[in-house]
Structure 1
Amino acid sequence: MSARRILIAALVAALSLVTACSGGSSDDQAALPGGSELVKKSAEAMRGAKSAAFTMETEGTPPVPVKKATGRLSGTGDADGTINIDLAGSLQEIQFVLIGETVHFKGVTGGFQKISRSQLAAIYDPSAILNPDKGIVQLLGTALDPKTEAVEKVDGTDAYRVAATLSQQVLATMVPGLSQGVNGRLWIDKATSRLLKADLPMNGGKVIVTFRDYDVPVQVTAPAE
């Protein structure tokens, strides 16, 4: 077979593959559940969450003071973890342990100090994430025009990717300093309907929040003084 015929055969095969893939994608899209149904089921599933671990991190330079946060959350509102916050242009890492109305916190140097929960909330209150009156449940319940886009894996778990307009008022409880609504994307666990990830584009960059270890027992204890 001549080189010209080999090239033509290769092009035909490639075009056939593209056509087949395009047809499959269309069928898959039609088979996806509706976005409204998914966010409603996810809100119901999140209402029953007893605990979770979370990570919040930024890409680029979005206009929020907390640049990264990681931690564990209990259903009772206790939490522990670390916060990286921009204070007057200087990035500071703070360890926190939130028990009841008391927050134990520690910077890079020195020991733990105490502030009240309300004082922490002015900076960042991670316990609001699982609070059904403030956090994820409200975020899902107020999502506007949700559209299911695809099935993707998040850390090896099959999830529906849903695009939606998300409320600034609700998001601000989880991403302090956020001053705008967001056209974001949510990844909802296909098996459990729990929220696995939120991608929140905004001016200058984005904030990505991920969740894992739902209902794994969390025991938060005060640090030694």
Structure 2
Amino acid sequence: MRTILGLVVAGLLLVTACSAKSEAALPDGPALLKRSAEAMRTVTTVAFTIATKGKPAVPVRHAEGSLTREGDAKGTLQIEIAGLQEIEFVLVGDKVYFKGPTGGFQTMTRQQLLALYNPSAVLTGVPGLLSTAKDVHTQAEEKVGDATAYRVAATLSQDVLATLVPGIQQGVTGTLWIDKATSRLLKLDLPLTGGSVAVTLGDYDAPVTIAPPAS
């Protein structure tokens, strides 16, 4: 009986020790996001995807492309404006080249595009989002694609979120995935009324050529 009892106690101690070790291995949430904000400030180029599920009250339904620290960008955008519109865009300096499913490229100014959507905020706005997050908790270590990441829960303010995804009217307790090796943000999931929005980032600092389209 003593032998069996001893084995049970030893087993419980082992489980407790393993659990404590696992929890201790996770980094402090606020410190992790601080490092991530610093890492994101050094990014020169990034590929991004914004995708919605359900029917959240945001005009951007899907967007993907590449952008640079200087604010140049290229990609595609699906946006609700008198129905769902799909637009291909190239943003170079102060000029935007855009076209729909048919026809050639037209132009608008950067300021005109910013009234609808600011793709460069996906990069420039992330450090502020990470720096202002509240109630930050590291939840787990898990895979995101080929990368090992820390999954983090945090309360994110409406003001900062709206720069990344126009139309957000609420603060959100979101989930972030931070790359373990580089501290860069890999993914952001935002539950909203009526659905959710996911922002995915990758191909950091890869060479990107953004130039006006051939006429």
TM-score normalised over the length of structure 1? 0.87
CA distance in 2 between counterparts of 1:69 and 1:114 reads 19
Q: Which amino acid letter does the alignment assign opposite residue 200 of structure 1?
A: L
Structure 2: gaps spanning 5 or more residues: 1-10
SS of the aligned residue for 2:117 comes to: coil
Q: Structure 1 residue 114 and structure 2 residue 104: aligned? A: no
Q: Which amino acid letter does the alignment assign opposite residue 24 of structure 2?
A: A
Q: Which residue of 1 aligns with 2:49?
A: 55
SS of the aligned residue for 2:38 comes to: helix
Q: Which amino acid letter does the alignment assign opposite residue 60 of structure 1?
A: G
Q: Which amino acid letter does the alignment assign opposite residue 121 of structure 2?
A: A
Mark the CA change 1:39 to 1:123 in structure 2 (over 3 Å): closer, same or farther: same
SS of the aligned residue for 1:222 comes to: coil
Q: CA deviation at 1:128?
A: 1.7
Q: Which residue of 1 aligns with 2:166?
A: 176
Q: Which amino acid letter does the alignment assign opposite residue 120 of structure 1?
A: L
Q: Which residue of 1 aligns with 2:155?
A: 165
CA distance in 2 between counterparts of 1:129 and 1:77 reads 10
CA distance in 1 between counterparts of 2:143 and 2:16 reads 20
Percent of aligned positions that are identical:
58
Deviations 1:48-70 (A, max 9, x none): 00000000000111110110000
Q: CA deviation at 1:27?
A: 3.2
Q: Which residue of 2 aligns with 1:99?
A: 92
Report matched runs for 1:11-30 at 5 Å. 24-30=18-24
Q: CA deviation at 1:147?
A: 0.4
Q: Structure 1 residue 144 and structure 2 residue 138: aligned? A: no
Structure 1 range deviating more: 170-179 or 25-34: 25-34
CA distance in 2 between counterparts of 1:86 and 1:25 reads 48
CA distance in 2 between counterparts of 1:82 and 1:170 reads 23
SS of the aligned residue for 1:57 comes to: strand
Report matched runs for 1:5-44 at 5 Å. 24-44=18-38
Q: Which residue of 2 aligns with 1:7?
A: none
Deviations 1:98-135 (A, max 9, x none): 0001110101111111111111111111112222xxx0
Q: Structure 1 residue 215 and structure 2 residue 209: aligned? A: no
CA distance in 1 between counterparts of 2:163 and 2:18 reads 40
Match among 62, 65, 69 for residue 71 of structure 1: 65
SS of the aligned residue for 2:43 comes to: coil
SS of the aligned residue for 2:155 comes to: strand
CA distance in 2 between counterparts of 1:178 and 1:218 reads 29
Q: CA deviation at 1:36?
A: 0.4
SS of the aligned residue for 1:126 comes to: coil
Q: Structure 1 residue 194 and structure 2 residue 184: aligned? A: yes
CA distance in 1 between counterparts of 2:161 and 2:30 reads 19
Q: CA deviation at 1:31?
A: 2.0
Q: How many residues align?
A: 205
TM-score normalised over the length of structure 2? 0.90
Structure 1 residue runs of 4 or more that deviate by more than 6 Å after TM superposition:
19-23
SS of the aligned residue for 1:171 comes to: helix
Root-mean-square deviation over aligned CA pairs: 1.8
CA distance in 2 between counterparts of 1:144 and 1:83 reads 30
CA distance in 2 between counterparts of 1:161 and 1:73 reads 25
Q: Which amino acid letter does the alignment assign opposite residue 57 of structure 2?
A: P
